[in-house]
């Protein structure tokens, strides 16, 4: 959870009141049509519905036009962004079922947009009220939410009566406050939020399976769908926190306090309008002063990079619309305020903004990767107050292949290639990795510029709820343990022969969900560091000590990869180096590289630095753990730092550049890894690894 009060604030938008462009009122504030009840935007217009049943269009040149859509009032509008189609809900007669009307704005009927379809909004004339409306951009779904907790789904061509079917998709006890369609590839989901819960429906599958995502909801107009930069997540703004959801799970949340009134998404920014407590501090005690009671705060958040791009107080906001590359804030007094985002150069020159360059940080999209990257960026921000950091998230090959064990894929750099490509193209300035994901030989032109202080490197056991309180040793015969790591499986088969081991893939959230919701696994093995960083330390049922299971090379450490010749960035990130972790990881990586190991063979290590002595234990295993070689060596690393500038000042040790750590200590650590690997190779390690590699390829 992130508290926004700790986020830096910038003024990345300019605010102006929209003025009349010409005529006798030129220069005066532009006035909205009176009685506006609902708003939307798209296709080059701001769209309004009013209490008289009219729908209005405001062009970029501030030309107003309207037509009579209903005899009484307009209550809901939905303007599609990719089609000149407008859906509306309104009333033609008092007390009669409101009507949904679909308008083709490119075709005319007597001068007005052509109404292509009309149908009653409420099925069966139930005594309820329409609360929200949404339409899929493909024009094949429409959803209508109601105050009685039901949702009606129209499937098929929503512009024509004969080519669609209507059904009640959802029934509940709480008013529906928000709806959103999410399209990802061929998968279509519908998010449904009420005042008390959040659910998703998979519309691409027969019978539309439903999944409850949470047991709290939000008020009307307090949910929205992000764009692909935030993974098309459904955003729900409660009064204490803002929550983000994927169709099958809850993502991160942010502690944005205050009563939320309105939520929108705009070009990577989250827009929140909430009651402003600071603008009227006397209002709680001084009665209902109308000049103070309707003050509202508009905040523009960058969730990805954790800063507030803009904040301002407005009087009684009606809505916030996005069109023509700007934000338009409509207020109850009939005014329109435009928020225009500043260009990058202006942001850099703004005395309230950035003094120096913007540092772009690459990372994977997974929640754990984001948490790890956020922690590294936070350390950099504390050291470099005048720099601004932007996080660029992307999917890697390893993230996309979820149905095959990593050891079977046979490709190096599974979780790093796409990030390194972005680094090479100067799209990012540095990349944050789990060190264990980085090959021991990096591509030319790259180096590891920082290795942060190591988290607990050991493996942890997470048990199925029915096995709480047990250990691996006390699990029943034939209990199934989930792990996709050959290293873990080989060691644990040897140590716990009464257990069975099966592959399990997916990010931490997915693997824990597979464990908890099914009976396939009695327990799964995960890195303790990842669980702790996710805040799930309470799920750890057992830490595996080195006698049970040696850990992976680099496990628990975070690495910052940079361009080797980018001296500014290299110097900047080098402040994050943790000397003890660097020496341990140099020894581990040198051991792995000399063995020519990787994730396709079982290689394991354990290191310790004590009294200036570096101890390295390394081992290789057959796939079933029956054949193993294991040994320990040590070396002294107590060397003073010297002024070592000169022709070798960019020396790398197994891909790591650490100028501020004594070179002789790094050399000793690297030699330790090579010598231990040579010892095991002399005892037959190559044969064990070759057989393991062949058997793994044949599986």
Q: Catalytic residue positions?
A: 437
Of 304, 371, 363, 409, residue with least CA distance to 508: 371
- Cα–Cα distance between 240 and 31 in angstroms, integer? 35
- Cα–Cα distance between 286 and 351 in angstroms, integer? 38
Q: In this structure, what is the dihedral angle of CA atoms 241, 325, 310, 294, given to the nearest 10 degrees?
A: -70
Count other Cβ atoms within 10 Å, centred on residue 626.
11
Structure tokens at 569: 């960035």
CA quadruple 468, 471, 477, 478: dihedral sign:
positive
Q: Do residues 336 and 343 touch, judged by C-beta distance below 8 A?
A: no
Of 533, 380, 379, residue with least CA distance to 456: 533
- Cα–Cα distance between 372 and 432 in angstroms, integer? 8
State the DSSP string of 416-482.
THHHHHHHHTTS-SEEEEEGGGS-SSPPTTEEEEEEPPPPP-SEEEEE-GGGTT--TTTSPTT-EEE
Q: Which residues pair with 681 in a beta bridge?
A: none
40 CB burial (10 A radius; 0-12, 13-18, 19+): buried
Beta strand 260-266 with 317-323 is unpaired
Structure tokens at 338: 């435009």
Structure tokens at 427: 């799209």
249 CB burial (10 A radius; 0-12, 13-18, 19+): middle
Residue whose pair of structure tokens reads 């950099």 in the numeric block: 380
Q: First-to-last CA distance in the chain?
A: 42
For 590, phi then psi, to 5°, come to -65, -40
3-state SS string over 614-653? EEEEEEEECCCCCCEEEEEEEEECCCCCCCCCCCCCCCCE
- The per-residue b/e assignment along 499-530, b for 16 or more CB within 10 angstroms, e otherwise, is bebebbbebbbebbebbeeeeebbbbbbbbbb
- Cα–Cα distance between 614 and 386 in angstroms, integer? 38
Q: Do residues 331 and 320 touch, judged by C-beta distance below 8 A?
A: no
Q: Which residues contact 148 (CB under 8 A, 6 or more apart)?
A: 126, 128, 175
At residue 549, the 3 state secondary structure works out as coil
Structure tokens at 680: 């095991």
């Amino acid at each position: 959870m992130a508290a926004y009060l700790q986020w830096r604030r910038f003024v990345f938008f300019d605010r102006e009141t929209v003025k009349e462009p010409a005529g006798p009122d030129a220069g005066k504030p532009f006035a909205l049509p009176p009685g506006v009840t609902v708003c939307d935007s798209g296709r080059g217009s701001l769209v309004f519905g009013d209490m008289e049943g009219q729908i209005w269009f405001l062009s970029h040149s501030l030309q107003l036009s309207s037509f009579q859509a209903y005899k009484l009032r307009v209550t809901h509008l939905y303007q599609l962004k990719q089609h000149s189609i407008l859906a509306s809900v309104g009333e033609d007669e008092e007390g009669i079922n409101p009507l949904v009307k679909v308008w083709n704005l490119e075709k005319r009927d007597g001068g007005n947009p052509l109404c292509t379809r009309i149908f009653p909004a409420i099925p069966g004339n139930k005594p309820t009220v329409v609360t929200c409306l949404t339409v899929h951009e493909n024009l094949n779904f429409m959803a209508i939410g109601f105050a009685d907790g039901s949702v009606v789904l129209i499937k098929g061509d929503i512009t024509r009566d004969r080519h669609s079917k209507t059904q009640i998709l959802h029934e509940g006890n709480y008013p529906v406050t928000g709806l959103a369609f999410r399209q990802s590839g061929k998968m279509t989901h519908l998010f449904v939020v009420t005042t008390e819960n959040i659910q998703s429906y998979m519309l691409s599958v027969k019978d539309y399976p439903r999944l409850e995502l949470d047991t709290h909801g939000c008020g009307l107009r307090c949910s929205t769908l992000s764009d692909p930069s935030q993974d098309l997540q459904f955003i729900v703004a409660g009064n204490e926190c803002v929550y983000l959801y994927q169709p099958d799970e809850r993502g991160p949340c942010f502690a944005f306090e205050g009563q939320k009134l309105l939520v929108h998404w705009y070009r990577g920014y989250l827009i929140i309008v909430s009651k402003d407590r600071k603008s009227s501090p006397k209002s709680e005690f001084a009665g209902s002063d109308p000049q103070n009671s309707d003050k509202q705060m508009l905040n523009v958040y960058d969730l990805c990079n954790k800063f507030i791009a803009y904040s301002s107080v407005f009087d009684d906001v009606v809505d916030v619309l996005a069109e023509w590359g700007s934000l338009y804030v409509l207020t109850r007094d009939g005014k329109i305020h435009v928020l225009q985002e500043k260009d990058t150069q202006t942001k850099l020159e703004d005395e309230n903004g950035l003094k120096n360059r913007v540092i772009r940080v690459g990372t994977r999209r997974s929640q754990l990767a984001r948490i790890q990257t956020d922690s590294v960026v936070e350390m950099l921000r504390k050291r470099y107050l005048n720099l601004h950091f932007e996080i660029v998230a992307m999917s890697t090959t390893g993230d996309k292949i979820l149905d095959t064990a990593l050891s079977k894929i046979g490709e190096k750099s599974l979780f790093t290639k796409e990030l390194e490509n972005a680094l090479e193209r100067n799209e990012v300035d540095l990349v944050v990795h789990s060190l264990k994901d980085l090959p021991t030989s990096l591509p030319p032109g790259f180096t590891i510029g920082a290795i942060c202080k190591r988290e607990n490197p050991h493996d942890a056991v997470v048990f199925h709820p029915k096995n709480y309180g047990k250990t691996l040793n006390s699990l029943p015969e034939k209990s199934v343990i989930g792990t996709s790591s050959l290293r873990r499986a080989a060691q644990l088969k040897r140590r716990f022969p009464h257990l069975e081991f099966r592959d399990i893939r997916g990010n931490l959230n997915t693997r824990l969900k597979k464990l908890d919701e099914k009976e396939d696994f009695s327990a799964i093995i995960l890195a303790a560091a990842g669980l702790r960083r996710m805040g799930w330390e309470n799920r750890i049922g057992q830490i595996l000590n080195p006698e049970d299971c040696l850990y992976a090379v680099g496990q628990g450490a975070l690495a910052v990869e940079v361009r080797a010749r980018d001296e500014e960035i290299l110097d900047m990130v080098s402040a994050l180096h943790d000397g003890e972790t660097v020496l341990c990881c140099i020894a581990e990586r040198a051991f792995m590289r000399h063995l020519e190991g990787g994730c396709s063979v079982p290689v394991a290590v354990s290191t310790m630095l004590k009294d200036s002595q570096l101890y390295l234990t390394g081992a290789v295993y057959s796939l079933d753990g029956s054949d193993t070689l294991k040994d320990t060596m040590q070396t002294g690393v107590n060397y003073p730092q010297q002024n070592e500038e000169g022709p070798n000042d960019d020396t790398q040790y197994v891909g790591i550049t650490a100028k501020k750590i004594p070179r002789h200590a790094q050399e000793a650590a690297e030699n330790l890894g090579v010598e231990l690997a040579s010892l095991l190779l002399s005892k037959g390690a190559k044969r064990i690894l070759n057989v393991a590699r062949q058997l793994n390829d044949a599986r």
